[in-house]
Amino acid sequence: MKYDIAVIGSGMSGLMASIYLAEKGLNIAVVSKGDPICSVSSGCIDIAGTGEKTMESIDIFPLEHPYNKIGEKGITDSLQYFLDLMKEQGFNYLGDIGKNRNILTPIGKYRTTSLVPFTMEHADIEPGESFHIISFKDIKDFFPSYITGIFSNTGVSVFDAGTYTTMGIAAKMDNEDFLESFSKWIKLQNIEQKKIGIPAILGITKTRKIINYLETETGKIFFEIPTLPPSIPGLRLYRNIKSIAEKKGVSFYNTADITDFKKENDTIINITIKKPGRPDYVNADAFILATGSFVSGGLFLDKNIFKETVFNLPVYSPVDKELFNMDFFKLGHPLEKSGILIDENFKVLKSGYNNLFIAGSILAHSETMKYQCGHGMAIATGIAAAKHAEEHIK
């Protein structure tokens, strides 16, 4: 089938690009190999750094960072667009685009981020603040003793949900009978504190309803504490963004293994998707590549040889020596700088393709871990690439 623009990758950058373009009345396809990394993320939107003000942090980023091809207005506009979409979806994100905040983690430390789902509205606990923790019997990746070791005024109650995984408990929370029994158990604990922290298990599809019910029944204020991956807030974020895209009319090619592409001179005509029997072809006037970096499979490294896995684009490598001999656990590893170099129009430098645009963590010099800009940069570059792709086909 022929589309106006085909987006390759269904992470934050790809989905935000597809939504923006669909709202412009364009016929859009998203082609993806599987669920993206954002589905196992914390669900929070990191914009920039650990300082108080996000834009001041961006001001000291190196000139080659992708943010600097967008500008402050472009960044803030794209993030506000995200906030408006999530509000329209009924899954509000809260916070100030211009400020960072610190939320509680399952080991009692703080994590710096900017925008949080409504379930974490009250997760920015003040030092010495009194609150209560509800944990679950044998739950994995949640450590209330670490929290109580730091916050001495904190009490803990443990509920037996009959399962020990966050996914299993969250699925049970979506059941009304289970939720009712859980609420009754909470009231029997005679908890004195007003605020209750709970691992991020408050449902998968009915989270708003679950929090409203618990707060009404118990008279308490609940906040989720993000757990280690797999993360329920990350899964909710992905499902809501994808749902928005589907409502806007975006077509999806899921579990799609791209095996080839066709070009004429400097123009990409289509991509080939492997299927049993006969391959499928996705034709488009322009393409946006948003396949992510190494973890997502957008980039591949073998014996210090870098590869981009769809179009075999040239990959920028920061060093010549063997990267595997370096400390991978040190923040700012040179590998994070690897990726695709782009011009001011988000086209690939030296690729020869005039209708291919790049977005997300596959971009060179992103360094999302070092600069703590993961989802924020994904959203901003996704919208930026979409705008340039739209201009190209018009």
Residue ranges of the domains in the chain? 2-93+235-393, 106-225
Residue closest to 290 by CA, chosen among 382, 369, 393: 382
pLDDT, residue 283, reads 97
Q: How distant, in Å, are the alpha carbons of 281, 291, 370 from that of 65? A: 34, 18, 12
Q: What does the pLDDT read at residue 251?
A: 97
Rounded Cα gap, residues 48 and 112, in angstroms: 9
Q: What pLDDT shows up at residue 138?
A: 93
379 within 8 A of 82, measured Cβ to Cβ: yes
Q: Which residue has the tokens 């990191």?
A: 46
Q: Tens of pLDDT along 282-341? A: 999 999 999 998 888 888 887 777 899 999 999 998 865 555 555 554 566 778 889 999
Phi–psi pair at 160, nearest 5 degrees: -95, 105
* CATH code for residues 106-225: 3.40.50
pLDDT of residue 213: 98
Phi and psi for 129 in degrees, rounded to 5?
-70, 145
Q: Are 336 and 368 in contact (CB under 8 A)?
A: yes
- pLDDT tens-place values along the chain, 394 residues long: 899 999 999 999 999 999 999 999 999 999 998 777 776 788 999 999 889 999 999 999 999 999 999 999 999 999 999 999 999 999 999 999 999 999 999 888 899 999 999 999 999 998 888 999 999 999 988 889 999 999 988 999 999 999 999 999 999 999 999 999 999 999 999 999 999 999 999 999 999 999 999 999 999 999 999 988 778 999 999 999 999 999 999 999 998 899 999 999 999 999 999 988 888 999 999 999 999 988 888 888 877 778 999 999 999 988 655 555 555 545 667 788 899 999 999 999 977 799 999 999 999 999 999 999 999 999 999 999 999 999 999 8
What is the reported pTM?
0.94
H/E segment holding residue 213: helix 207-218
Measured CA to CA, the distance from residue 348 to residue 332 in angstroms comes to: 24
> What is the pLDDT, as a whole number, of residue 320?
59
**Cβ proximity of 31 and 253 under 8 Å:** yes
Fold of 2-93+235-393: FAD/NAD(P)-binding domain (3.50.50)
In terms of C-beta distances under 8 Å and separation of at least 24 residues, what long-range contacts does 124-130 make, across chains too? 125/151, 125/195, 125/197, 128/153, 129/153, 129/195, 130/154, 130/193, 130/195
Report how far apart, in Å, the C-alpha atoms of 227 and of each of 40, 41, 110, 154, 310 are.
10, 10, 13, 19, 33
* Res 323: pLDDT: 59
Q: CATH topology of 2-93+235-393 equal to that of 106-225?
A: no
225 vs 359: CA distance, rounded Å: 30
Between the CA atoms of 385, 346, 46 and 228, what dihedral angle is there, to the nearest 10 degrees?
A: 90
Q: How far apart are CA 326 and CA 318, in angstroms?
A: 13
| DSSP state letter for 313 | -
Of 96, 107, 158, 97, give the one whose Cα is nearest residue 132.
158
The 10 Å CB-count burial string (b at 16+, else e) for 28-62 is bbbbbbebbbbbbbbbbbbbbbeeeebbebbeebe
SS3 of residue 242 by DSSP: helix
Q: Please state, in angstroms and as integers, the Cα–Cα distance from residue 323 to each residue in 47, 292, 294, 313, 328, following that order.
A: 28, 19, 14, 20, 9
Amino acid 35: pLDDT: 76
